[in-house]
Amino acid sequence: MDLKLKIWRQPSAHADGKFVDYQVHEISKDASFLEMLDILNEELVNKGEDPVAFDHDCREGICGMCSLFINGRPHGPDNAITTCQLHMRRFKDGETVTIEPWRAKPFPVIKDLMVDRSAFDEIIQAGGFVSIATGGVPDANAIPIRKQNADLAMDAAACIGCGACVAACKNASAMLFVAAKVSQFALLPQGKVEAKERVQKMVAKMDDLGFGNCTNTYACEAECPKEISVTNIARMNREFLVAKLS
Amino acid sequence: MTKLESKIPDGPLAEKWTNYKAHQNLVNPANKRKVDIIVIGTGLAGGAAAASLSELGFNVSVFCIQDSPRRAHSIAAQGGINAAKNYPNDGDSVYRLFYDTIKGGDYRAREANVYRLAEVSNNIIDQCVAQGVPFAREYGGLLDNRSFGGALVSRTFYARGQTGQQLLLGAYSALSKQIGKGAVKMYTRREMLDVVKIDGRARGVIVRNLVTGKLERHAAHAVLLATGGYANVFFLSTNAMTSNGSAAWRAYKRGAFFANPSFVQIHPTCIPVHGDYQSKLTLMSESLRNDGRIWVPKKKEDAEKIQKGQLKATDIAEEDRDYYLERRYPAFGNLVPRDVASRAAKERCDAGFGVGSTGLAVYLDFKSSIARLGKNVIEARYGNLFQMYEKIVDANPYETPMMIYPAIHYTMGGTWVDYELQSTIPGLFVGGEANFSDHGANRLGASALMQGLSDGYFVLPYTMQNYLADQITVPHFKTDSAEFEAAEKEVQERINKLLAVKGDHTVDSFHRRLGLIMWDNVGMARNKAGLEKAIEELKALRKEFWQQVKVPGTNDGLNVELEKALRVADFLELGELLAYDALNRNESSGGHFREEYQTPEGEALRNDKEYMYAAAWEYKGDDQEPELHKEPLIYENIEVKQRNYKTA
């Protein structure tokens, strides 16, 4: 298939960016979206032009490195997948595809479609862990955990930290990302011990970094490639309230 | 001259590690902060080691190639992690895990290392549970286990099909805790381009800041490489796009021996290759072999019709299906080790029984499991894998069997290390997939996560401390010394040289050609003539690369083509050593299959008399042949046998 591409090009963080039009030809419908960009980049290199910069690594939907706002949606038109899992059979021959970076103040553009998501790491560093050191821990089966809780914790822990929730949100809120981590630990006895401190530290850091508030549009849940539920946000709000009141 | 000294502690096998720890040198808490450690890589081994060393009090600087330490390729491991807990009461023990690992590795791994790995495996599960890793549980609240290839017990712990992700996020959370405290300095989007030696010891690294292009110097008392494997030398593999061999290769060129490079794992269950634009291959977890049955048509004419699209898998009657693993290996069936399963698939496809449009695929069928257990159970176990398959292939595995074919997945070979995981460069330690130590000629499923975390949490924090004990009076190193100056200059010259070629062919085009030479001649089946041809072709390709490669742009800022060019330049050399090692090893063992050496049934035929050693190669110069050093492998606790998966 042939496609017209409108791609956001921005040489560096402080330079102005703009859309540039490209065309790609004879792309197989079985190619992945990133392979289509590889083909474009190989053509650009052959022509002596600067290839389009974009983040990617595992190309199997788990590392969270790939991003891309495709035709107005984070990770493109399919639900529950990352950009690297998107295949060209989802597009029509002759279609125009618009490709932008994540747009959110806490995620500044590095170059073209690459953004800096280190704000997410800072939130985890503020409290997204259990404060134990290596060694000296009890036997793994010493504390039985209700299967239902373990499963809910796993649902939350599936977050890949890609930032689609922030990109999808009109307020650039990181509530779903933070709530997923807070929930995972709040649901498990190992994380419960310091649940109160954790939720307060992580929320404070999220606010500091300039992420916006949640106004319950659920856009984050709709665009999350791992289908993390907004019920985690409710759980976080409850945890936060309890922590503040006690 | 460097001598190979494996430093295996004395005493009975089961007491070696305990004895080592009891007698090793320690650093007192106040002195630990005087000592600097550099860790390269934030996968399971690097992340776990960095967190643990920092918790002990050392000054740790960590570098990763991605934008965050949460993304290393350990994250992609799906199926699980082994441990000898024996929770299911099915007869497991530390000895049995040790035995299965040695046997699975086709008797080419070091006994003492493997025993230690089995010993600490249980601590890993305890540690991860305490970190809040949400492993799968039974209704009674206790941990669930499943089976993996090469074992007759269920010892694999798992978190749905995302075990690697959950374990890595556990190590990442431990590391983040230390970064948050200011105890670890984290450098992201950095790539290591050289090791710096001072007076023969590793004392630092040169890294490139991938965003600014700037070369940076970092010094320390010891350096740990946890940079993963080199499977991308084949271009198409299941590894992530940035996974590369450069850190290990640069260490090799500075004097760290490289061991068993030809021991490469080909994973039997990957999604088949579909086009020449393809950038990577996707693995389907080995855990699928718990409930999936592998088959091809019994009749060649059926296979041919399927290849032409005239028949579908579901058209083939039960009695016309050849469940060839169950037929050939009744005891282990679909759960034979990876090397055995891969070769069996290749044998059927080469004989003309393969399916798919290329004929290079076999079926992995869940029909009987769905009938037996119900769709819900299968969905709970493998839902995310089925979804992943459907997105890529556009076919529904609940209704029609998956198509799979072997692909390059993991490298058992790597930097040679002694019992302390120290390379032949004093002060340079190597952990995880990057070292060669534990898996011999073939790694069992769910053992990579075990080894990465064993090295990171429970081995390196001890052994690096032993090395650092006499370093407490050595002052912090400055980076303006002649050694750093010279190393940075060499890296800068290499970059300048690449940018100056201004040829006509992209880096990827060379990488693809490299991959084809490797896959065709140094892949699943190798022979003398093919290997000799490959070595000649690789030499020619390397020459052409340095005359014809096109690297646009400059070194002042983000330049992805330059990053790739530096990696491919190293892969071209590494590929040659891989072929060279395969040529030297006149036997078949594990993942290394030489067509000249097989049993009448087509199984790998070892030559224990001449090749029961680890081949450690020493760099002698760019156009010199490397020198072979042999570390004899001595089995005192295990009877060396021909591997047999036909009977229990």
Contacts of B164 in chain A (CB under 8 A): 62
- Chain B residue whose CA is closest to A116: B67
Same domain, A91 and A207: no
Minimal Cβ distance to B173: which of A45, A128, A146: A128
Closest alpha carbon to B412 in B589, B160, B626? B589
Per-residue pLDDT for A205 more than 70? yes
CB B159 within 8 A of CB B135: yes
Residue A122 and residue A95 share a domain: no
Do A158 and A226 sit in the same domain of this protein? Answer: yes
Q: What is the pLDDT of residue B601?
A: 84
* Same structural domain, A241 and A129: yes
pLDDT of residue B636: 94
Name residues whose C-beta falls within 8 Å of residue B643's C-beta, 6 or more positions apart in sequence. B103, B106, B337, B340, B603, B604
d(CA B339, CA B592): 9
Write down the pLDDT at residue B275.
81
The C-alpha atoms of residue B374 and residue B363 are separated, in whole angstroms, by: 20
Residues A140 and A238 in one domain: yes
Q: E strands within chain A? A: 3-9, 18-24, 69-70, 73-74, 96-100, 109-111, 114-115
The pLDDT value recorded for residue B274 is 81
Class of domain B268-408 (CATH, top level): alpha beta
Q: How far is CA B183 from CA B35, B60, B61, B135, B479, in A?
A: 13, 7, 9, 29, 21
Strand bridging mode B59-63 / B36-40: parallel
For the domain B482-607, what is the CATH code? 1.20.58.100
pLDDT at B509: 96
Q: Which of A84-98, A142-156, B328-342 has the lowest mean pLDDT?
A: B328-342
Same domain? For A106 and A123 the reply is: no
Q: Domain B13-21+36-263+412-471 is in which class?
A: alpha beta
Grade residue A35 by pLDDT with cuts at 50, 70 and 90: very high
Q: CB–CB of A132 and B131 under 8 A?
A: yes
Judgement on whether residues A93 and A201 belong to the same structural domain of the protein:
no
**What pTM was computed for the model?**
0.97
Taking CB atoms and an 8 Å cutoff, what residues of chain A touch B509? Answer: 42
Q: What is the mean pLDDT of each run of 10 residues along chain B (648 residues)?
A: 87 97 96 97 98 98 98 95 97 97 96 98 98 97 91 94 96 98 98 98 98 98 98 97 98 98 95 88 89 96 96 96 96 91 93 94 96 93 88 93 96 98 98 97 96 98 98 96 98 98 97 96 96 98 98 94 98 98 97 95 92 98 94 95 81
- Of A111, A130, A149, the residue at which a domain comes to its end is A111
Check residue B164 and report its DSSP letter: H
Co-location of A65 and A154 in the same domain: no
**Residue A12 shares a structural domain with residue A97:** yes
Q: Please name the residue of chain B whose CA is at the shortest distance from the CA of residue A13.
A: B211
Q: Which residues of B are catalytic?
A: 338
CB contact under 8 A, A87 and B391: yes
- The CATH code of the domain that includes A22 is 3.10.20.30
Q: Which of A55-64, A126-135, B280-289 has the lowest mean pLDDT?
A: B280-289
Amino acid occupying residue B280: K
CB of B119 closer than 8 Å to CB of B101: no
Pick from A49, A79, A111: which residue ends a domain? A111
Would you say the ipTM is above 0.90? Answer: yes
Q: Are residues A133 and A220 in the same domain?
A: yes
Task: Tell me the one-letter amino acid at B359.
Answer: G
Structurally, chain A folds into a number of domains equal to 2
Give the integer Cα–Cα distance in Å for B457 and B447. Answer: 15
Do A180 and A104 share a structural domain?
Answer: no
Residues of A in contact with B213 (CB under 8 A): none
**Residue finishing a domain among A69, A85, A111:** A111
Domain that holds residue A236: 118-245
Domain coordinates of chain B in residue numbers?
Answer: 13-21+36-263+412-471, 268-408, 482-607
List the single best residue of B58, B66, B67, B450 to mutate versus A (max A Cβ within 10 A).
Answer: B67
Question: Per-residue pLDDT for A164 more than 70?
Answer: yes
Q: Nearest CA of chain A to the CA of B606: how many Å?
A: 35
Give the closest-approach CA distance of B486 to chain A in angstroms.
Answer: 31
The Cα of A245 is separated from the nearest Cα of chain B by a number of Å equal to 25
Give backbone dihedrals phi and psi of A196, rounded to 5 degrees, phi first.
-65, -45
